Structure 1
Amino acid sequence: MGLLPYFAFITLFLLLPTVANVWTSLHDNTGGWSLASMRRLGEEQYVSAFLNTMALSAVTALLGGALGLVVAWALATLQRPRWLRSIMLSYSVVASQLGGIPLAFAFIAAMGSQGLITLAVYDATGWDLTETFAVSSFWGLVVVYLYFQVPLMAILVLPAIMGIRREWSDSALSLGAGRWRYLIDILLPILSPAIGGAVLLLFANSFSAYATAYALSGGGANLVPILIGFFISGNVLTDQSFGAALATGMMLVIAVAMVLRHLLVRRTTRWLQ
């Protein structure tokens, strides 16, 4: 009985929308069975959209994973001042969930063509920052995505780092292993499943991001979530069936990442227990 609300929530907000989306992708706009929308996914422009989205997700996942791991390690080992750890942990929780229009507006106001940082750099050096860096470009999106990818990574791997036992280090050092040998042969094999699982979650998180990329690029970025928005609720192009097909392809990519993450998390749990 206690699990009924949970299963009701999963059914209403995950299973039913997924089934409805797949059903729509397998029908044309007149309601008849058709695989035309799924076949269109193989067209060059839509393959390019998937590749661009994967590239953006992979870059932000790897960079965010590396930087977030450093932040998590600092949070786990920081002793003094104690208040700094609490503040950084609280900020990481908030920043990991901050995205969408507010985040995009913040970066436009700071680094856009008339942003505060852009104008300050121009006044100080005469260099127009937007000539080499634009928030609507690929690397601009990477920088903005890192704002929530890095703290999310820190939160995800922090429990695994906190689970490291001091006895492992003492035993390795007493047997003659140096710190680098301890890091490479003991810590990395133990933490690698947790790190890999967290990176896969960052990949899925970036792959499905919509509002931030749309606001930064004005809808001009060739990314799958933006295309889905165009075909489902666009002012010019409206094709519910193909929009559902794009969403189905996106869900398949995310599902593969989540299955791999689940397998890695199971391995991490065995180590920590």
Structure 2
Amino acid sequence: MRERPSLSQARSLLEDAAEDAGKVVIRCLGPLYVLAANAAILFIATSMVLVVYPRVLAGQPVANRAVHLIFLASTVGSVLWNYYACASVGPGYSLTKIQDPEAGHRTCKKCGCAKPEGCHHCSVCDKCVLGMDHHCPWMNTCVGRDNYAYFLRFLSSCWLGTAYTAAVSSVPIELVGMAIKYRKKDSGAHLSCYLLSLGVLIGITLLLGFHLYLASTGQTTISLVDKFASCETWREVARKLCWEQDFSLGNLRRAFAGRRGARGRAT
């Protein structure tokens, strides 16, 4: 007579099925995230040139308008360059298959590749990523050893660009219930540009601040999560986050330059 699966076994099967389904969903949605990111950049840049500038800079000297246009173009160029560099360069993968796991090498249990320090297997990419920080759905790739510098520069360019577009396109708005009230002379495109810039700016500020903290302390997202997992009290969390960290501008400079160690610690 066949033995019925226990409740814990059934729960484990359900968790595995949910995890596998999540991987498939993220893989399928990856191109849509990339499309959405590019559409947002294109919409903000186009709205600034065709809608916001003619309204805000009307009557200003040609030199002033040229400065604004050049600044916008250079910022958008930096955003796109670092975005595509980060996505195309890739994080760097461990491709060396270990034939003899007993030889003292750390080996990935999922793909059989060598796992140097700081290397982790990404369940979405299904590869071992060197110096892995996280999987970024907006770029449809992992962020790791080889492309973390591009990622930092991308976030910095995004912050600078959205801070600028939010400031220049700012319009007085008022929330009345679920409706947004604004001056009739401000077009919907103008308002949308401002709200999108402001929303992205808030999100990028939090994300950039977090990664500047990681870069300056020589950590990765994964190593920080591991520290959280080992903590039992909030006091211990605070100590490991702040008091035990070695903040260094040298770490930050090397991270922006693309020189980080296997665990995310600058070398």
The TM tier, using the shorter chain, reads: under 0.3
More strand by share: 2
Greater RCO structure (CA 8 Å; 6+ sep)? 1
More helix by share: 1
TM-score calculated relative to the size of structure 1 = 0.23
TM-score calculated relative to the size of structure 2 = 0.23
